[in-house]
Structure 1
Amino acid sequence: MKDYLQVANDPWMWIMAVPVVVLTGIQGIIFAKKAFHVSEVKVVNLTREQCIKAFRVGAVSAVGPAVSVFIVMLGMMAVIGGPMSWLRLSIIGAAPTELTAATIGAKAMGIEFGSSEYGIKAYASSVWTMTLNGCGWLLFCGLFTHKLGAIKDKVAKGDTRLMGEICGAAILGTSGYLLTGHLLAGGARLWAGVAAAISMVILEIVSDKVPKLKEYNLGLAMIVGMIVAAVI
């Protein structure tokens, strides 16, 4: 029964989603201004040019993940409507997590996500599951983020170089963990990872001669991987 989509795409759903998405955008602007401010008052040893470069690198690197999120959002819109898909992926951005939560919510009602039996009750269950799943993250951040600084100081003991190496190791570990699952799955996912890795090596070699290309390497490698997966 697809009549539940009239509720899922109701104008009131869009109206309720808008404030949260707008607030997310405002937070992004505030964080960006704060970041530039601390460089201007010399709290950190960065010039404005370095801040702008870092901002540009982050924006370019976000293209790959943003495209994948957009593709998943199109699929979710067909099942849970536009407002909720837009809302959840705007504040969380983890498309696989949101899709999994929506699926679990449907299965809790004994119904397959997106099947012909998926109706208003299953839709409500999916929405509640996605929302409660996100609340756990927010509670943890709100209760424990301020304490992580003390943990960082105890681990690194003020050594900024050691902290940089720890953060680098953490990024390598999490990226490796996430990539391994795709490689073991085989098929298009395997070739996407291989293509992205090869393109990253080539881009690093090229960017040694063209330094301005270096800040775009990660985003370009992601896009190459997605193109290869789509072709396969």
Structure 2
Amino acid sequence: MISAASAAAGQGQDPNSVLALANTPVLWICALGVFLVIAVQSVMYMRAARKAAPAAGMSQQELRTTFRTGAIAAIGPSLAVALVAIAVLALFGTPATLVRIGLIGSVQYETAAASIAAGTAGAELGGPEYTQQVFAIVFFALSLGGAMWMIATLILTPLLKKGEHRLGKVNPVLMTVVPGAALLGAFFSLGLAEVPKSSVHAITLAASAAVMAACLLLARLPGMRWLREWGLGIAILLGLTAAYLAQSAGLGAGV
């Protein structure tokens, strides 16, 4: 806490602000360490793929094409995550945002968990009671939740895999429908929960849904398949634009 205050004072930042604690060097080191591990893992997987390619009947040219296609396909979802990350920088600081939003990418879970953690301390995210102590509670809750996700995945994945094989033998089509239906239900429930807050929220949801639907329809046309990857980023960007225009028009009252 003292070192964070000293660093913040040296940078002309309020030593008691949340960002003074959220941007401390130790958190930067931890964030960079996580991304270093990811980089090493990526290199290891790429080397393993190159070694396994001949056995799978893939040429090196096909492998390079696959890598290039994967890199391009990642731009769209990454853009969506980047837009969301910018919106929460003021709440979590850069290191925590890089690890929590940039790495995991689940802003719905992160913001919901952060709001609950802050509420236990009688504070609101971004409010006057959102102090360094509350940020520490929020960051610990997010880190603990992420760790539990990893542990649960490690334990439950083998069990779910066995269940998937059994369901696949009974009805193969079912396993193609269930994952999509689960994701659709989860995102729809999260989006629908925002509607009662104000007319701006309802307009933003409607605009984003319309843009995403249009992108998916246009992606069926020849030469427009790239919209499958870019659709989410475009929907978020235009949804934010619709929210700004609606707020400027004075439509912020509750529905």
The alignment status of 1:219 with 2:229, answered yes or no, reads yes
Partner residue, 2:121: 109
Q: 1:14 aligns with which of 28, 33, 42?
A: 28
The residue number in structure 1 matching 2:180 is 172
Displacement of 1:57 after TM fit?
A: 4.5
1:202 partnered with 2:218: yes
Q: How does 1:1-232 map to 2 (within 5 A)?
A: 2-42=16-56, 52-157=64-169, 163=172, 165-181=173-189, 182=191, 185=195, 186-205=202-221, 207=222, 210=223, 213-214=224-225, 216-232=226-242
Unaligned ranges ≥5, structure 2: 1-13, 196-201, 243-255
After superposing on structure 2, the runs of 4+ consecutive aligned residues of structure 1 that deviate more than 6 Å are: none
The size of the alignment, in residue pairs, is: 220
Deviations 1:57-81 (A, max 9, x none): 5444433332232223223321222
Report % sequence identity: 20
Determine the C-alpha separation between the residues in 1 that align with 2:142 and 2:219.
Answer: 38
Q: 1:5 to 1:192 in 2, by over 3 A?
A: closer
Moved more, 119-128 or 187-196: 187-196
Residue aligned with 2:124, SS: coil
Uncovered stretches (5+) of structure 1, i.e. residues with no partner: none
Distance 1:174 1:15 in 2: 36
The TM-score normalised by the length of structure 2 is 0.73
Structure (1 or 2) with the greater helix fraction = 1
TM-score scaled by length of structure 1: 0.79
CA RMSD in angstroms, aligned pairs only: 2.9
C-alpha displacement at 1:9, in angstroms? Answer: 1.1
